[in-house]
């Protein structure tokens, strides 16, 4: 068995009186590609933020590569790539300036990968020199993904990464993910509402419902012998 990259134990998170996470237990082995599913407002973004140590929690813990998520050392931090749901890019920079900025922060930076993705994903020529504030939603999302992949992370956390991408952009991105996982045994956790995409890349799924992971496992196993589609399963688990 491979080591666990993520270990979440009894995680509780409230916003005021609202109990969003109510005892999440979730362990993720190295090299897994997991789709996180749940209704709007189920707490997927909150869970991904808590998993990464970006939010205070009421109780419980998240451990990444054996270290508490709230106290990661620089070496572990450099192994993580994150695409948040809301763009956190520096609006006043251009894509080239943004990537140069992050390049200086990471010990491992795969410039060949960045150059290739910039070419393929529409950032050749003028688009690479426009102010980020003027980019479209999909262009920002592409840039955010390039930034997250640029340092060859071993753990990728993606919060609805393809929501604004056109079908070709989605296909390219999914292909990139698959290649990366196969080549480097990257662990990928991504939330999405696009079940067809999930079925193309995720071997595992986890359902967040009522503040807990209520069902997880290999997609094939969960659907086997049930004559259900993933959509049917989603409806059944989250109703």
Ligand X SMILES: Nc1ncnc2c1ncn2[C@@H]1O[C@H](COP(=O)(O)OP(=O)(O)OP(=O)(O)O)[C@@H](O)[C@H]1O
Pairing state of beta strands 59-64 and 4-15? Answer: antiparallel
CB environment 40-61: b (16+ within 10 A), e (fewer): eebbbbbbbbbbbbebebeebe
Residue 95 or 211 having the CB closest to ligand X: 211
Residue 25 or 131 having the CB closest to ligand X: 25
Q: List binders of ligand X among 42-101 (CB under 6 A).
A: 42-46
What angle do helix axes 137-149 and 111-120 make, rounded to 10 degrees? 160
Residue 55 or 154 having the CB closest to ligand X: 55
- The answer to whether the beta carbons of residues 39 and 238 sit under 8 Å apart is yes
**Distance, CA of 122 to CA of 150 (rounded, Å):** 16
The distance from CA 175 to its chain's CA centroid, rounded to whole angstroms, is 15
Residue 59 or 75 having the CB closest to ligand X: 59
Q: Does residue 38 bind ligand X (CB under 6 A)?
A: yes
Stretch that binds ligand X, among 37-45, 58-66, 138-146, 177-185 (CB under 6 A): 37-45
Minimum Å gap between C-beta 22 and ligand X is 12
Pairing state of beta strands 187-191 and 80-83? Answer: unpaired
Stretch that binds ligand X, among 1-9, 36-44, 94-102, 169-177 (CB under 6 A): 36-44
Q: List binders of ligand X among 197-216 (CB under 6 A).
A: none
- List residues near ligand X by CB under 6 A: 15, 20, 38, 40-46
């Amino acid at each position: 068995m491979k080591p666990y990259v993520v270990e979440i134990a009894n995680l509780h998170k409230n916003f005021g009186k609202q109990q969003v996470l109510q005892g999440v237990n979730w362990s993720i082995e190295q090299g897994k590609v997991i789709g996180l599913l749940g209704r709007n407002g189920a707490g997927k973004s909150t869970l991904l933020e808590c998993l990464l140590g970006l939010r205070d929690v009421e109780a419980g813990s998240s451990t990444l590569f054996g270290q508490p998520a709230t106290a990661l050392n620089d070496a572990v931090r450099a192994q993580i790539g994150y695409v948040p749901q809301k763009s956190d890019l520096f609006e006043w920079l251009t894509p080239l300036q943004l990537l140069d900025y992050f390049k200086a922060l990471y010990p491992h930076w795969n410039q060949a990968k960045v150059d290739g993705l910039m070419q393929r994903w529409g950032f050749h020529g003028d688009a690479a020199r426009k102010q980020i504030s003027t980019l479209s939603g999909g262009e920002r999302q592409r840039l955010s993904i390039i930034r997250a992949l640029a340092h060859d992370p071993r753990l990728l956390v993606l919060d609805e990464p393809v929501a604004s991408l056109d079908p070709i952009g989605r296909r390219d991105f999914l292909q990139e993910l698959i290649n990366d996982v196969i080549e480097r045994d990257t662990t990928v956790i991504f939330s999405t509402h696009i079940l067809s995409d999930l079925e193309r890349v995720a071997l595992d799924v986890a359902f967040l419902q009522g503040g807990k992971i209520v069902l997880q496992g290999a997609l094939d196993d969960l659907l086997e012998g049930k004559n259900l589609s993933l959509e049917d399963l989603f409806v059944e688990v989250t109703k």
